[in-house]
Amino acid sequence: DAKTTQPPSMDCAEGRAANLPCNHSTISGNEYVYWYRQIHSQGPQYIIHGLKNNETNEMASLIITEDRKSSTLILPHATLRDTAVYYCIVRVTEHSSASKIIFGSGTRLSIRP
């Protein structure tokens, strides 16, 4: 699976949009981009994933560049509860539920009041 690069930490004011970047310059055509987050002392929580097109759900939006070498996770209105470590992962798609998820170091997002 392709490796990802994320800034180690970011901060954002409460109520503002938090934009978390991720570089995945070696991504292959069959690899999806996934985002998870981990709030302190909890298991990771799925946020969103995408292949080529931008995606949006109730939690966040995912913007993938046209060349797919980078992406940005957008939390439109950050709250204090969004303070967590955010992981960007690229993963080969297989027609199997056995595909592993390998975590990088992630971005520690702090939301300030």
Answer yes or no whether residue 97 interacts with other proteins by CB under 8 A: yes
CB-CB contact of 50 with 62 (8 Å): yes
In the shown chain, the binding pattern of residues 22 to 41 toward other proteins, with x for contact by CB under 8 A and - for none, equals ----------x-x-x-x--x
Site for other proteins in 67-96 (CB under 8 A): 85, 87, 92-96
Question: Measured between alpha carbons, how far is residue 108 from residues 11, 27, 40, 57, 75 in Å?
Answer: 8, 23, 10, 22, 14
Provide the residue type at 98 as one letter.
Answer: A
Among 15, 26, 46, 65, binds other proteins (CB under 8 A): 46
Taking the least distance from each CB to other proteins, the nearer of 49 and 69 is 49
- The Cα 96–Cα 110 span in angstroms is 36
Give the binding-site size for other proteins (rule: CB under 8 A).
29
Listed residue (35, 61, 59) closest to 49, CA to CA: 35
Using CB under 8 A, list all residues that contact other proteins. Answer: 32, 34, 36, 38, 41-46, 49, 51, 85, 87, 92-106
